[in-house]
A and B are shown apart, each in its own frame.
Chain A
Amino acid sequence: MLRIPAQMKTKKYWKETLEAYLYLLPAFTILGLFSFYPVVKSVYMSFFDWSLLRDTQYFVGWENYEKIIGDPVFRRAIMNTARYVIGYVPISIALGLIVAVLLNSKIRFRGPLRVAFFLPWVTSSVAISMVWRWIYNQHYGLLNMMLAGLANAVNTVVEFVSFGHLSEVWQFSNPNWLMEPQWTIINLVIIAVWQSLGYNMVIFLAGLQNIPHELYEAAEVDGASPWQSFWKITLPLISPTTFFISIISIIGAFKLFTEVYVLYTGRPGPVNSGMTIVYYVYRNAFERYRMGYASAAAYILFAIIFVFTLVQMRASKRRIHYGS
Protein backbone atom coordinates (compact mmCIF):
# COMPACT_ATOMS: atom_id res chain seq x y z
CA MET A 1 0.00 0.00 0.00
CA LEU A 2 2.86 2.33 0.73
CA ARG A 3 4.37 2.46 -2.69
CA ILE A 4 7.30 4.83 -2.61
CA PRO A 5 7.06 7.34 -5.39
CA ALA A 6 10.02 9.04 -7.00
CA GLN A 7 9.12 12.40 -5.54
CA MET A 8 9.47 10.89 -2.14
CA LYS A 9 13.02 11.92 -1.65
CA THR A 10 12.43 15.58 -2.30
CA LYS A 11 12.35 17.98 0.58
CA LYS A 12 9.15 19.52 -0.68
CA TYR A 13 7.39 16.17 -0.41
CA TRP A 14 8.32 15.74 3.21
CA LYS A 15 7.40 19.29 4.00
CA GLU A 16 4.00 18.73 2.49
CA THR A 17 3.66 15.47 4.39
CA LEU A 18 4.27 17.27 7.63
CA GLU A 19 1.76 19.91 6.67
CA ALA A 20 -0.83 17.31 5.75
CA TYR A 21 -0.41 15.60 9.08
CA LEU A 22 -1.12 18.89 10.79
CA TYR A 23 -4.38 19.14 8.90
CA LEU A 24 -5.19 15.59 9.85
CA LEU A 25 -4.21 15.98 13.47
CA PRO A 26 -7.65 16.73 14.99
CA ALA A 27 -9.32 14.01 12.96
CA PHE A 28 -6.57 11.56 13.75
CA THR A 29 -6.71 12.26 17.48
CA ILE A 30 -10.46 11.83 17.79
CA LEU A 31 -10.62 8.80 15.52
CA GLY A 32 -7.61 7.35 17.26
CA LEU A 33 -9.23 7.50 20.66
CA PHE A 34 -12.76 6.54 19.76
CA SER A 35 -12.38 4.40 16.66
CA PHE A 36 -8.89 2.99 16.18
CA TYR A 37 -8.42 2.11 19.82
CA PRO A 38 -11.75 0.25 20.24
CA VAL A 39 -11.12 -1.47 16.91
CA VAL A 40 -7.73 -2.72 18.02
CA LYS A 41 -9.14 -3.73 21.37
CA SER A 42 -12.01 -5.67 19.87
CA VAL A 43 -9.76 -7.38 17.34
CA TYR A 44 -7.79 -8.55 20.34
CA MET A 45 -10.98 -9.62 22.13
CA SER A 46 -12.07 -11.64 19.12
CA PHE A 47 -9.35 -14.18 19.90
CA PHE A 48 -10.62 -14.66 23.43
CA ASP A 49 -13.53 -16.27 25.16
CA TRP A 50 -14.34 -12.79 26.39
CA SER A 51 -17.34 -12.45 28.66
CA LEU A 52 -18.56 -9.05 29.73
CA LEU A 53 -19.55 -10.43 33.11
CA ARG A 54 -16.19 -11.91 34.02
CA ASP A 55 -12.85 -10.43 34.99
CA THR A 56 -10.59 -13.12 33.58
CA GLN A 57 -10.71 -13.86 29.87
CA TYR A 58 -9.42 -16.95 28.10
CA PHE A 59 -7.38 -17.02 24.91
CA VAL A 60 -8.97 -19.31 22.34
CA GLY A 61 -7.15 -18.49 19.09
CA TRP A 62 -9.27 -18.85 15.99
CA GLU A 63 -12.00 -20.78 17.80
CA ASN A 64 -14.56 -17.96 17.70
CA TYR A 65 -14.06 -17.50 13.98
CA GLU A 66 -14.33 -21.21 13.31
CA LYS A 67 -17.51 -21.51 15.35
CA ILE A 68 -19.12 -18.55 13.63
CA ILE A 69 -18.35 -19.81 10.16
CA GLY A 70 -19.79 -23.18 11.13
CA ASP A 71 -22.97 -21.64 12.55
CA PRO A 72 -25.96 -22.00 10.18
CA VAL A 73 -27.56 -18.94 11.78
CA PHE A 74 -24.56 -16.86 10.75
CA ARG A 75 -24.72 -18.15 7.22
CA ARG A 76 -28.38 -17.25 7.23
CA ALA A 77 -27.43 -13.79 8.43
CA ILE A 78 -24.98 -13.37 5.57
CA MET A 79 -27.60 -14.40 3.03
CA ASN A 80 -30.21 -12.05 4.47
CA THR A 81 -27.76 -9.17 4.60
CA ALA A 82 -26.65 -9.81 1.02
CA ARG A 83 -30.25 -9.85 -0.17
CA TYR A 84 -30.87 -6.56 1.53
CA VAL A 85 -27.75 -4.94 0.09
CA ILE A 86 -28.63 -6.07 -3.42
CA GLY A 87 -32.20 -4.88 -3.07
CA TYR A 88 -31.56 -1.60 -1.37
CA VAL A 89 -28.40 -0.05 -2.78
CA PRO A 90 -29.22 0.25 -6.51
CA ILE A 91 -32.80 1.39 -5.96
CA SER A 92 -31.98 4.01 -3.39
CA ILE A 93 -29.11 5.48 -5.43
CA ALA A 94 -31.06 5.55 -8.69
CA LEU A 95 -34.15 7.09 -7.14
CA GLY A 96 -32.10 9.59 -5.17
CA LEU A 97 -30.35 10.75 -8.34
CA ILE A 98 -33.55 10.99 -10.35
CA VAL A 99 -35.34 13.00 -7.70
CA ALA A 100 -32.33 15.26 -7.22
CA VAL A 101 -32.05 15.98 -10.93
CA LEU A 102 -35.77 16.69 -11.22
CA LEU A 103 -35.76 18.90 -8.16
CA ASN A 104 -32.70 20.74 -9.37
CA SER A 105 -34.45 22.01 -12.47
CA LYS A 106 -36.35 25.23 -12.40
CA ILE A 107 -39.80 24.14 -11.39
CA ARG A 108 -42.47 25.44 -9.13
CA PHE A 109 -42.86 24.20 -5.54
CA ARG A 110 -39.26 23.08 -5.62
CA GLY A 111 -38.76 23.94 -1.95
CA PRO A 112 -41.86 22.16 -0.58
CA LEU A 113 -41.20 19.13 -2.78
CA ARG A 114 -37.66 18.84 -1.47
CA VAL A 115 -39.00 19.01 2.06
CA ALA A 116 -41.50 16.26 1.29
CA PHE A 117 -38.77 13.94 0.04
CA PHE A 118 -36.45 14.78 2.88
CA LEU A 119 -38.97 14.40 5.71
CA PRO A 120 -38.47 10.65 6.24
CA TRP A 121 -34.82 11.15 7.06
CA VAL A 122 -35.68 13.63 9.78
CA THR A 123 -38.03 11.60 11.95
CA SER A 124 -37.03 9.54 14.92
CA SER A 125 -36.78 5.82 14.35
CA VAL A 126 -39.16 5.01 17.21
CA ALA A 127 -42.00 6.88 15.52
CA ILE A 128 -41.08 5.57 12.09
CA SER A 129 -41.14 1.98 13.23
CA MET A 130 -44.57 2.41 14.78
CA VAL A 131 -45.89 4.05 11.62
CA TRP A 132 -44.57 1.23 9.45
CA ARG A 133 -45.86 -1.45 11.78
CA TRP A 134 -49.25 0.09 11.19
CA ILE A 135 -48.75 0.36 7.42
CA TYR A 136 -47.76 -3.30 7.16
CA ASN A 137 -50.46 -4.59 9.50
CA GLN A 138 -52.48 -7.27 7.81
CA HIS A 139 -55.87 -6.22 9.07
CA TYR A 140 -55.79 -2.50 9.60
CA GLY A 141 -52.66 -1.44 7.72
CA LEU A 142 -52.51 1.15 5.00
CA LEU A 143 -50.66 -1.04 2.50
CA ASN A 144 -53.26 -3.79 2.32
CA MET A 145 -56.01 -1.22 2.30
CA MET A 146 -54.47 0.48 -0.72
CA LEU A 147 -53.68 -2.77 -2.49
CA ALA A 148 -57.19 -4.04 -1.93
CA GLY A 149 -58.60 -0.83 -3.34
CA LEU A 150 -56.28 -1.05 -6.32
CA ALA A 151 -57.16 -4.69 -6.94
CA ASN A 152 -60.81 -3.80 -6.78
CA ALA A 153 -60.40 -0.97 -9.27
CA VAL A 154 -58.39 -3.12 -11.68
CA ASN A 155 -60.93 -5.90 -11.48
CA THR A 156 -63.81 -3.55 -12.11
CA VAL A 157 -62.12 -2.01 -15.12
CA VAL A 158 -61.10 -5.37 -16.57
CA GLU A 159 -64.57 -6.74 -16.05
CA PHE A 160 -66.08 -3.73 -17.76
CA VAL A 161 -63.70 -3.77 -20.69
CA SER A 162 -64.06 -7.51 -21.23
CA PHE A 163 -67.86 -7.29 -21.02
CA GLY A 164 -67.87 -9.39 -17.89
CA HIS A 165 -65.80 -12.20 -19.35
CA LEU A 166 -62.92 -11.58 -17.03
CA SER A 167 -63.75 -11.08 -13.41
CA GLU A 168 -61.48 -11.16 -10.39
CA VAL A 169 -58.31 -11.20 -12.47
CA TRP A 170 -56.36 -9.91 -9.51
CA GLN A 171 -57.19 -12.04 -6.56
CA PHE A 172 -55.95 -10.03 -3.65
CA SER A 173 -54.55 -12.34 -1.01
CA ASN A 174 -54.24 -9.89 1.90
CA PRO A 175 -50.61 -10.71 2.70
CA ASN A 176 -49.41 -10.67 6.26
CA TRP A 177 -46.32 -8.56 5.68
CA LEU A 178 -44.82 -8.75 9.13
CA MET A 179 -45.42 -12.41 9.83
CA GLU A 180 -44.62 -14.10 6.55
CA PRO A 181 -40.85 -14.46 6.27
CA GLN A 182 -40.69 -13.99 2.51
CA TRP A 183 -41.57 -10.32 2.92
CA THR A 184 -39.10 -9.43 5.65
CA ILE A 185 -36.22 -8.21 3.49
CA ILE A 186 -38.63 -6.54 1.07
CA ASN A 187 -40.29 -4.68 3.94
CA LEU A 188 -36.92 -3.49 5.14
CA VAL A 189 -35.84 -2.43 1.66
CA ILE A 190 -39.04 -0.43 1.19
CA ILE A 191 -38.59 1.39 4.48
CA ALA A 192 -34.91 2.01 3.88
CA VAL A 193 -35.50 3.35 0.37
CA TRP A 194 -38.29 5.56 1.65
CA GLN A 195 -36.09 6.85 4.40
CA SER A 196 -32.86 7.34 2.50
CA LEU A 197 -34.25 8.77 -0.71
CA GLY A 198 -34.22 12.31 0.61
CA TYR A 199 -30.81 11.78 2.13
CA ASN A 200 -29.32 10.70 -1.18
CA MET A 201 -31.26 13.47 -2.87
CA VAL A 202 -29.59 16.10 -0.69
CA ILE A 203 -26.10 14.79 -1.37
CA PHE A 204 -26.80 14.60 -5.10
CA LEU A 205 -28.26 18.10 -5.02
CA ALA A 206 -25.07 19.35 -3.45
CA GLY A 207 -23.11 17.53 -6.15
CA LEU A 208 -25.24 18.97 -8.91
CA GLN A 209 -24.36 22.50 -7.80
CA ASN A 210 -20.79 21.73 -8.83
CA ILE A 211 -21.70 21.24 -12.47
CA PRO A 212 -21.20 24.49 -14.38
CA HIS A 213 -24.45 25.68 -15.80
CA GLU A 214 -23.01 26.82 -19.07
CA LEU A 215 -22.33 23.23 -20.06
CA TYR A 216 -26.06 22.63 -20.20
CA GLU A 217 -26.62 25.88 -22.08
CA ALA A 218 -24.02 24.88 -24.63
CA ALA A 219 -25.63 21.47 -25.00
CA GLU A 220 -29.04 23.01 -25.51
CA VAL A 221 -27.69 25.27 -28.23
CA ASP A 222 -26.28 22.18 -29.89
CA GLY A 223 -29.76 20.69 -29.86
CA ALA A 224 -29.25 18.06 -27.19
CA SER A 225 -32.38 16.76 -25.50
CA PRO A 226 -32.57 16.83 -21.68
CA TRP A 227 -32.18 13.08 -21.82
CA GLN A 228 -28.94 13.40 -23.76
CA SER A 229 -27.51 16.05 -21.49
CA PHE A 230 -28.32 13.87 -18.52
CA TRP A 231 -26.23 11.05 -19.93
CA LYS A 232 -23.48 13.17 -21.42
CA ILE A 233 -23.09 15.88 -18.78
CA THR A 234 -24.84 15.15 -15.51
CA LEU A 235 -23.89 11.53 -15.08
CA PRO A 236 -20.16 11.87 -15.78
CA LEU A 237 -19.79 15.09 -13.83
CA ILE A 238 -21.69 13.85 -10.79
CA SER A 239 -19.59 10.69 -10.66
CA PRO A 240 -17.54 11.75 -7.60
CA THR A 241 -20.80 12.11 -5.69
CA THR A 242 -22.19 8.86 -7.06
CA PHE A 243 -19.02 7.10 -6.04
CA PHE A 244 -19.33 8.54 -2.55
CA ILE A 245 -22.97 7.57 -2.18
CA SER A 246 -22.44 4.06 -3.43
CA ILE A 247 -19.56 3.42 -1.03
CA ILE A 248 -21.48 4.89 1.89
CA SER A 249 -24.70 3.07 0.99
CA ILE A 250 -23.02 -0.29 0.68
CA ILE A 251 -21.24 0.11 3.99
CA GLY A 252 -24.45 1.26 5.64
CA ALA A 253 -26.53 -1.51 4.10
CA PHE A 254 -24.15 -4.20 5.27
CA LYS A 255 -24.55 -2.88 8.80
CA LEU A 256 -28.34 -3.28 8.78
CA PHE A 257 -29.59 -3.82 12.30
CA THR A 258 -31.56 -1.03 13.98
CA GLU A 259 -34.26 -1.10 11.32
CA VAL A 260 -34.89 -4.79 11.95
CA TYR A 261 -34.73 -4.41 15.69
CA VAL A 262 -37.31 -1.65 15.84
CA LEU A 263 -39.65 -2.93 13.10
CA TYR A 264 -39.86 -6.38 14.64
CA THR A 265 -39.80 -5.11 18.24
CA GLY A 266 -36.56 -6.66 19.36
CA ARG A 267 -36.73 -9.86 17.34
CA PRO A 268 -34.93 -10.77 14.12
CA GLY A 269 -38.15 -11.07 12.10
CA PRO A 270 -40.29 -14.20 11.70
CA VAL A 271 -38.22 -17.40 11.69
CA ASN A 272 -34.94 -15.43 11.61
CA SER A 273 -35.79 -13.96 8.22
CA GLY A 274 -34.45 -10.62 9.43
CA MET A 275 -31.35 -12.01 11.10
CA THR A 276 -28.49 -9.87 9.78
CA ILE A 277 -24.79 -9.95 10.54
CA VAL A 278 -24.96 -7.02 12.92
CA TYR A 279 -28.05 -8.47 14.58
CA TYR A 280 -25.96 -11.56 15.17
CA VAL A 281 -23.22 -9.39 16.64
CA TYR A 282 -25.68 -7.56 18.88
CA ARG A 283 -27.33 -10.71 20.11
CA ASN A 284 -24.07 -12.34 21.08
CA ALA A 285 -22.65 -9.22 22.68
CA PHE A 286 -25.58 -7.98 24.69
CA GLU A 287 -27.97 -10.87 25.08
CA ARG A 288 -25.40 -13.59 25.56
CA TYR A 289 -22.57 -11.47 26.97
CA ARG A 290 -20.05 -13.07 24.57
CA MET A 291 -18.07 -10.07 23.46
CA GLY A 292 -15.16 -11.99 21.96
CA TYR A 293 -17.46 -14.06 19.81
CA ALA A 294 -19.43 -10.99 18.76
CA SER A 295 -16.24 -9.15 17.86
CA ALA A 296 -15.10 -12.02 15.70
CA ALA A 297 -18.41 -11.87 13.81
CA ALA A 298 -17.95 -8.12 13.39
CA TYR A 299 -14.53 -8.65 11.81
CA ILE A 300 -15.86 -11.19 9.38
CA LEU A 301 -18.34 -8.49 8.37
CA PHE A 302 -15.51 -6.00 8.16
CA ALA A 303 -13.57 -8.27 5.84
CA ILE A 304 -16.58 -8.63 3.56
CA ILE A 305 -17.26 -4.91 3.35
CA PHE A 306 -13.58 -4.11 2.94
CA VAL A 307 -13.23 -6.38 -0.06
CA PHE A 308 -16.35 -4.88 -1.60
CA THR A 309 -15.09 -1.36 -1.10
CA LEU A 310 -11.67 -2.12 -2.56
CA VAL A 311 -13.23 -3.73 -5.61
CA GLN A 312 -15.51 -0.76 -5.98
CA MET A 313 -12.66 1.69 -5.70
CA ARG A 314 -10.61 -0.15 -8.28
CA ALA A 315 -13.51 -0.56 -10.66
CA SER A 316 -14.57 3.04 -10.53
CA LYS A 317 -11.16 4.62 -10.67
CA ARG A 318 -11.31 5.28 -14.37
CA ARG A 319 -14.93 6.23 -14.42
CA ILE A 320 -14.86 9.10 -11.97
CA HIS A 321 -14.29 12.54 -13.39
CA TYR A 322 -12.87 14.97 -10.93
CA GLY A 323 -13.13 18.54 -12.14
CA SER A 324 -11.30 18.78 -15.41
Chain B
Amino acid sequence: MLAEQQMWRYRFAKTFRRGLLYAVLIAGALVMMLPFVWMVTSSIKAPHEITLRTIQWLPAVPQWENYKVAWEAAPFDIYFKNSFIIALTVMGLDVVFSALAAYAFAKLNFFGKNFLFLLFLGTMMIPGEVMLIPNYITMVNFGWIDTYASLIVPWTVSVFSIFLLRQFFLSIPNELFEAAILDGCGKFAYLIKVMLPLSKPALVTVMLFKFIGSWNSFLWVLIMTNTPAMRTIPVGLTYFVSDVGAYYNYLMAASTFAMAPILILFLLLQKQFIQGIARTGLKG
Protein backbone atom coordinates (compact mmCIF):
# COMPACT_ATOMS: atom_id res chain seq x y z
CA MET B 1 0.00 0.00 0.00
CA LEU B 2 2.64 2.40 1.08
CA ALA B 3 4.90 1.25 -1.69
CA GLU B 4 2.15 1.78 -4.18
CA GLN B 5 1.59 5.30 -2.95
CA GLN B 6 5.26 6.06 -3.18
CA MET B 7 5.35 4.62 -6.63
CA TRP B 8 2.46 6.79 -7.63
CA ARG B 9 4.05 9.86 -6.19
CA TYR B 10 7.27 9.04 -7.92
CA ARG B 11 5.49 8.67 -11.25
CA PHE B 12 3.59 11.87 -10.73
CA ALA B 13 6.79 13.75 -9.95
CA LYS B 14 8.41 12.29 -13.02
CA THR B 15 5.54 13.19 -15.32
CA PHE B 16 5.35 16.64 -13.83
CA ARG B 17 9.05 17.18 -14.39
CA ARG B 18 8.75 15.95 -17.95
CA GLY B 19 5.85 18.28 -18.60
CA LEU B 20 7.72 21.20 -17.13
CA LEU B 21 10.78 20.33 -19.16
CA TYR B 22 8.76 20.30 -22.38
CA ALA B 23 7.00 23.51 -21.50
CA VAL B 24 10.27 25.32 -20.81
CA LEU B 25 11.99 23.96 -23.88
CA ILE B 26 9.15 24.65 -26.26
CA ALA B 27 8.59 28.14 -24.86
CA GLY B 28 12.32 28.80 -25.18
CA ALA B 29 12.38 27.48 -28.71
CA LEU B 30 9.43 29.67 -29.66
CA VAL B 31 11.13 32.77 -28.32
CA MET B 32 14.26 31.84 -30.23
CA MET B 33 12.27 31.23 -33.40
CA LEU B 34 10.11 34.33 -33.32
CA PRO B 35 12.55 36.63 -35.13
CA PHE B 36 12.85 33.97 -37.83
CA VAL B 37 9.17 33.53 -38.26
CA TRP B 38 9.01 37.23 -38.94
CA MET B 39 11.99 36.99 -41.26
CA VAL B 40 10.55 34.17 -43.30
CA THR B 41 7.01 35.51 -43.45
CA SER B 42 8.31 38.96 -44.36
CA SER B 43 10.11 37.38 -47.27
CA ILE B 44 6.77 36.75 -48.95
CA LYS B 45 5.07 40.01 -47.99
CA ALA B 46 4.36 43.03 -50.10
CA PRO B 47 6.59 45.94 -49.00
CA HIS B 48 3.81 47.92 -47.34
CA GLU B 49 2.81 44.97 -45.12
CA ILE B 50 6.02 44.74 -43.16
CA THR B 51 6.47 47.51 -40.62
CA LEU B 52 2.98 48.19 -39.33
CA ARG B 53 1.62 49.27 -35.98
CA THR B 54 -0.69 46.30 -35.87
CA ILE B 55 1.62 43.49 -36.64
CA GLN B 56 0.67 41.43 -39.64
CA TRP B 57 2.30 38.00 -39.45
CA LEU B 58 1.13 36.74 -42.79
CA PRO B 59 0.85 38.47 -46.16
CA ALA B 60 -2.56 39.06 -47.68
CA VAL B 61 -1.30 37.44 -50.84
CA PRO B 62 2.00 35.53 -50.65
CA GLN B 63 4.52 37.23 -52.90
CA TRP B 64 6.61 34.29 -53.95
CA GLU B 65 8.23 36.29 -56.71
CA ASN B 66 10.19 38.16 -54.00
CA TYR B 67 12.55 35.22 -54.08
CA LYS B 68 13.02 35.53 -57.78
CA VAL B 69 13.59 39.28 -57.58
CA ALA B 70 16.04 38.86 -54.70
CA TRP B 71 17.91 36.12 -56.53
CA GLU B 72 18.27 38.28 -59.61
CA ALA B 73 19.20 41.48 -57.75
CA ALA B 74 22.79 40.32 -57.35
CA PRO B 75 24.86 37.61 -59.10
CA PHE B 76 23.87 35.07 -56.47
CA ASP B 77 24.70 32.07 -58.65
CA ILE B 78 28.35 33.15 -58.67
CA TYR B 79 28.20 34.09 -54.99
CA PHE B 80 26.82 30.70 -54.02
CA LYS B 81 29.43 28.86 -56.01
CA ASN B 82 32.21 30.91 -54.41
CA SER B 83 30.76 30.57 -50.94
CA PHE B 84 30.62 26.80 -51.31
CA ILE B 85 34.14 26.48 -52.69
CA ILE B 86 35.60 28.70 -50.01
CA ALA B 87 33.61 27.44 -47.02
CA LEU B 88 34.15 23.77 -47.83
CA THR B 89 37.88 24.17 -48.45
CA VAL B 90 38.40 26.25 -45.35
CA MET B 91 36.41 23.77 -43.30
CA GLY B 92 38.37 20.78 -44.56
CA LEU B 93 41.84 22.29 -44.18
CA ASP B 94 41.14 23.89 -40.84
CA VAL B 95 40.04 20.69 -39.20
CA VAL B 96 43.21 18.91 -40.37
CA PHE B 97 45.67 21.63 -39.41
CA SER B 98 43.95 22.38 -36.15
CA ALA B 99 43.75 18.73 -35.14
CA LEU B 100 47.50 18.39 -35.71
CA ALA B 101 48.29 21.44 -33.63
CA ALA B 102 45.78 20.54 -30.93
CA TYR B 103 47.29 17.08 -30.66
CA ALA B 104 50.71 18.53 -30.01
CA PHE B 105 49.37 20.88 -27.37
CA ALA B 106 47.31 18.19 -25.69
CA LYS B 107 49.52 15.13 -25.70
CA LEU B 108 53.11 16.02 -26.38
CA ASN B 109 55.63 17.46 -24.00
CA PHE B 110 57.79 20.02 -25.64
CA PHE B 111 59.88 23.07 -25.20
CA GLY B 112 57.89 26.32 -25.07
CA LYS B 113 54.51 24.60 -25.00
CA ASN B 114 52.74 26.95 -22.61
CA PHE B 115 54.34 29.97 -24.14
CA LEU B 116 53.30 28.98 -27.64
CA PHE B 117 49.80 28.22 -26.52
CA LEU B 118 49.44 31.63 -24.93
CA LEU B 119 50.89 33.18 -28.04
CA PHE B 120 48.29 31.44 -30.17
CA LEU B 121 45.53 32.44 -27.80
CA GLY B 122 46.85 35.99 -27.78
CA THR B 123 46.12 36.41 -31.47
CA MET B 124 42.42 36.07 -30.69
CA MET B 125 42.63 39.08 -28.40
CA ILE B 126 43.58 41.52 -31.13
CA PRO B 127 40.63 43.02 -32.96
CA GLY B 128 40.67 42.03 -36.62
CA GLU B 129 40.19 45.67 -37.56
CA VAL B 130 43.83 46.52 -36.87
CA MET B 131 45.14 43.50 -38.73
CA LEU B 132 43.06 44.15 -41.83
CA ILE B 133 45.32 46.73 -43.45
CA PRO B 134 48.62 44.89 -42.83
CA ASN B 135 46.98 41.73 -44.17
CA TYR B 136 45.68 43.57 -47.19
CA ILE B 137 49.18 44.80 -47.96
CA THR B 138 50.51 41.25 -47.56
CA MET B 139 47.90 40.02 -50.03
CA VAL B 140 48.84 42.72 -52.50
CA ASN B 141 52.49 41.71 -52.18
CA PHE B 142 51.64 38.06 -52.69
CA GLY B 143 49.52 38.97 -55.71
CA TRP B 144 46.60 37.24 -54.05
CA ILE B 145 44.03 40.01 -54.44
CA ASP B 146 40.99 38.70 -56.27
CA THR B 147 42.00 35.07 -55.90
CA TYR B 148 40.62 32.22 -53.84
CA ALA B 149 43.98 32.05 -52.09
CA SER B 150 43.36 35.30 -50.22
CA LEU B 151 39.92 34.08 -49.16
CA ILE B 152 40.99 30.61 -48.12
CA VAL B 153 44.60 30.36 -46.96
CA PRO B 154 44.52 32.77 -44.00
CA TRP B 155 41.46 31.02 -42.60
CA THR B 156 42.74 27.45 -42.78
CA VAL B 157 44.00 27.64 -39.22
CA SER B 158 42.06 29.04 -36.35
CA VAL B 159 43.04 29.27 -32.74
CA PHE B 160 39.41 28.66 -31.89
CA SER B 161 39.52 25.21 -33.47
CA ILE B 162 42.90 24.37 -32.01
CA PHE B 163 41.78 25.38 -28.54
CA LEU B 164 38.50 23.49 -28.75
CA LEU B 165 40.12 20.31 -30.02
CA ARG B 166 42.87 20.60 -27.43
CA GLN B 167 40.28 20.63 -24.68
CA PHE B 168 38.73 17.46 -26.05
CA PHE B 169 42.01 15.71 -26.61
CA LEU B 170 43.02 16.55 -23.06
CA SER B 171 39.99 14.81 -21.68
CA ILE B 172 40.94 11.56 -23.34
CA PRO B 173 42.86 9.68 -20.63
CA ASN B 174 46.64 9.68 -20.83
CA GLU B 175 46.97 6.09 -19.67
CA LEU B 176 45.61 4.97 -22.98
CA PHE B 177 48.13 7.08 -24.83
CA GLU B 178 51.06 5.77 -22.85
CA ALA B 179 49.92 2.19 -23.24
CA ALA B 180 49.53 2.59 -26.96
CA ILE B 181 52.95 4.16 -27.34
CA LEU B 182 54.51 1.36 -25.28
CA ASP B 183 52.83 -1.13 -27.57
CA GLY B 184 54.71 0.45 -30.43
CA CYS B 185 51.88 2.45 -31.86
CA GLY B 186 53.31 5.60 -33.44
CA LYS B 187 52.09 8.97 -32.21
CA PHE B 188 50.62 9.86 -35.55
CA ALA B 189 48.89 6.51 -35.86
CA TYR B 190 47.46 7.04 -32.39
CA LEU B 191 46.04 10.37 -33.43
CA ILE B 192 44.39 8.89 -36.50
CA LYS B 193 43.23 5.62 -35.02
CA VAL B 194 42.24 6.59 -31.50
CA MET B 195 42.03 10.31 -30.88
CA LEU B 196 40.09 11.39 -33.92
CA PRO B 197 37.39 8.72 -33.77
CA LEU B 198 36.92 9.47 -30.08
CA SER B 199 36.61 13.21 -30.73
CA LYS B 200 34.00 13.06 -33.44
CA PRO B 201 31.58 15.47 -31.74
CA ALA B 202 34.35 18.02 -31.30
CA LEU B 203 35.53 17.62 -34.87
CA VAL B 204 32.02 18.06 -36.14
CA THR B 205 31.59 21.17 -34.00
CA VAL B 206 34.79 22.67 -35.31
CA MET B 207 33.78 21.96 -38.90
CA LEU B 208 30.32 23.35 -38.47
CA PHE B 209 31.53 26.59 -36.93
CA LYS B 210 34.26 26.99 -39.47
CA PHE B 211 31.81 26.53 -42.30
CA ILE B 212 29.37 29.05 -40.85
CA GLY B 213 32.11 31.55 -40.10
CA SER B 214 33.39 31.35 -43.62
CA TRP B 215 29.91 31.38 -45.13
CA ASN B 216 28.97 34.61 -43.33
CA SER B 217 32.30 36.40 -43.62
CA PHE B 218 31.82 39.81 -45.17
CA LEU B 219 34.42 42.53 -44.64
CA TRP B 220 37.41 40.33 -45.39
CA VAL B 221 35.89 39.14 -48.66
CA LEU B 222 34.98 42.64 -49.69
CA ILE B 223 38.44 44.03 -48.96
CA MET B 224 40.42 41.19 -50.54
CA THR B 225 38.41 41.05 -53.77
CA ASN B 226 37.68 43.68 -56.37
CA THR B 227 35.36 41.90 -58.74
CA PRO B 228 31.96 40.26 -58.39
CA ALA B 229 33.37 37.05 -59.84
CA MET B 230 35.29 36.39 -56.62
CA ARG B 231 32.71 37.46 -54.07
CA THR B 232 30.40 35.59 -51.75
CA ILE B 233 26.82 35.67 -50.50
CA PRO B 234 27.12 38.27 -47.69
CA VAL B 235 28.21 40.85 -50.25
CA GLY B 236 24.97 40.15 -52.09
CA LEU B 237 22.94 40.73 -48.94
CA THR B 238 24.16 44.32 -48.68
CA TYR B 239 22.30 45.12 -51.90
CA PHE B 240 19.00 45.45 -50.07
CA VAL B 241 19.83 47.92 -47.31
CA SER B 242 20.93 51.52 -47.63
CA ASP B 243 21.13 54.71 -45.58
CA VAL B 244 17.70 55.81 -46.70
CA GLY B 245 15.69 52.61 -46.49
CA ALA B 246 15.59 48.87 -46.77
CA TYR B 247 13.98 46.40 -49.12
CA TYR B 248 12.91 44.16 -46.25
CA ASN B 249 11.07 41.62 -48.33
CA TYR B 250 13.96 41.00 -50.70
CA LEU B 251 16.52 41.10 -47.90
CA MET B 252 14.56 38.52 -45.93
CA ALA B 253 14.07 36.35 -49.00
CA ALA B 254 17.78 36.49 -49.79
CA SER B 255 18.70 35.82 -46.16
CA THR B 256 16.41 32.83 -46.14
CA PHE B 257 17.99 31.21 -49.14
CA ALA B 258 21.44 32.23 -47.93
CA MET B 259 21.05 30.32 -44.67
CA ALA B 260 19.42 27.23 -46.14
CA PRO B 261 22.70 25.40 -46.87
CA ILE B 262 23.95 25.91 -43.32
CA LEU B 263 20.70 24.63 -41.95
CA ILE B 264 20.99 21.50 -44.04
CA LEU B 265 24.56 21.03 -42.90
CA PHE B 266 23.48 21.36 -39.29
CA LEU B 267 20.71 18.83 -39.75
CA LEU B 268 23.18 16.40 -41.24
CA LEU B 269 25.82 16.95 -38.57
CA GLN B 270 23.69 17.20 -35.48
CA LYS B 271 23.18 13.43 -35.49
CA GLN B 272 26.80 13.22 -34.43
CA PHE B 273 25.86 14.70 -31.10
CA ILE B 274 23.46 11.89 -30.36
CA GLN B 275 25.88 9.07 -30.70
CA GLY B 276 27.06 9.53 -27.17
CA ILE B 277 30.06 7.40 -27.89
CA ALA B 278 30.16 4.51 -25.51
CA ARG B 279 33.57 4.93 -24.07
CA THR B 280 33.46 1.83 -21.93
CA GLY B 281 36.87 0.81 -20.79
CA LEU B 282 38.41 4.12 -21.71
CA LYS B 283 37.83 5.73 -18.37
CA GLY B 284 40.90 6.41 -16.33
* Chain A residues with a Cβ under 8 A of chain B: 1-2, 7-8, 13-14, 16-17, 19-21, 23-24, 26-28, 30-31, 33-39, 41-42, 52, 99, 102-105, 107, 110-128, 130-132, 134-135, 137, 139-140, 142, 145, 194, 197-199, 202-203, 205-207, 209-210, 212-214, 226, 240-241, 243-244, 247-248, 251, 254-255, 257, 265, 277-278, 281-282, 285-286, 291, 294-295, 298-299, 301-302, 305-306, 309, 322-324
Contacts and interface: CB of A to CB of B under 8 A. Distances in A.
A62 to B, nearest CB: 18
B243 to A, nearest CB: 8
In which size bucket is the chain B interface? Answer: 35 or more
Nearest to A127: B255
Contacts of B36: 119-120, 123
A99 B240 CA distance: 35
A142 B126 contact: no
B32 A194 contact: yes
Given A113-B25, A113-B29, A124 B237 contact: yes
Contacts of A254: 125
A115 B279 contact: no
Interface in B220-260: 233-234, 237-238, 240-241, 243, 246, 248, 251-252, 255, 258-259
A42 to B, nearest CB: 5
The SS class assigned to the B binding surface is: helix
Given A1-B118, A131-B39, A212-B280, A19 B125 contact: no
A34 B267 CA distance: 33
Contact of B258 (A23, A124, A137): A124
Given A99-B28, A135-B35, A323 B172 contact: yes
Nearest to B191: A23
B28 A117 contact: yes
Given A23-B101, A37-B134, A139-B53, A16 B32 contact: no
Interface of B: 17, 21-22, 24-26, 28-30, 32-36, 38-39, 51-53, 55, 96-98, 100-101, 103-104, 108-116, 118-127, 129-131, 133-135, 138, 153-154, 156-157, 159-160, 162-164, 167-168, 170-175, 187, 200-202, 204-205, 208-209, 212, 216, 218, 233-234, 237-238, 240-241, 243, 246, 248, 251-252, 255, 258-259, 262-263, 266-267, 270, 273-280, 282-284
